[in-house]
Structure formats: structure tokens, C-alpha cells
């Protein structure tokens, strides 16, 4: 984790600071050498369709994978 003085956060260090956050790092902001804040990257959001449990595809109440295996004679 990088620490940066609040006074240095303005100017070219500002862009450097946020480039580090974009790269996944956390930056601690200091005032007079004391930490006052942390800037953290926002975690990527999982799409809603990945949050739901997978359900097997069915046809007539039977799983399609089972129907395929039966058709193949397995």
C-alpha cells in the first residue's frame, strides 16, 4: 500500500495515485503524517446471471443432457 500526503495529491501525483488505484492497489492519504483516508479500487461486479445457481435445461420434465445420453444409448 502506498501512502501519499494530502498536499501532494494535487498535481502530477494525483494522476499517479489514481493510476495505482486503477491497477488494483490501495492508497492511504496522509495529513501531517497521519492517515485520514484510503482510496481503494471498486471490486468488479458479478453479472446477475452468474449470481444465480445454474438450473439444468429440461424438456418434458427430464434433463436435456439425460435425453441426449438416452438417445445415444448410454
Q: What pLDDT digit, counting tens, does each position of 19-40 carry?
A: 888 899 998 888 888 998 899 9
* Each residue's pLDDT tens digit, 1-11: 777 776 777 66
Q: Are 1 and 27 in contact (CB under 8 A)?
A: yes
pLDDT of res. 11: 67
* CB neighbours of residue 50 within 10 Å: 8
Instruction: Give the pLDDT of residue 6.
Output: 66
Q: What domains can be seen in the chain, in order of their start residue?
A: 1-43 (3.40.1620.10)
Question: What is the average pLDDT across 30-53?
Answer: 86
Contact 32, 9 (CB under 8 A): no
How much is the pTM? 0.51
Question: How far is Cα 72 from Cα 74, in angstroms, rounded to an integer?
Answer: 6
Amino acid at each position: 500500500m502506498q501512502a501519499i500526503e494530502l498536499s501532494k495529491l494535487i498535481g502530477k501525483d494525483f494522476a499517479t495515485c489514481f493510476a495505482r488505484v486503477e491497477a488494483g492497489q490501495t492508497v492511504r492519504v496522509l495529513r501531517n503524517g497521519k492517515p485520514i483516508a484510503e482510496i481503494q479500487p471498486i471490486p468488479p461486479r458479478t453479472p446477475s446471471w452468474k449470481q444465480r445457481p445454474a438450473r439444468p435445461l429440461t424438456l418434458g420434465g427430464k434433463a436435456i443432457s439425460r435425453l441426449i445420453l438416452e438417445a445415444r444409448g448410454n
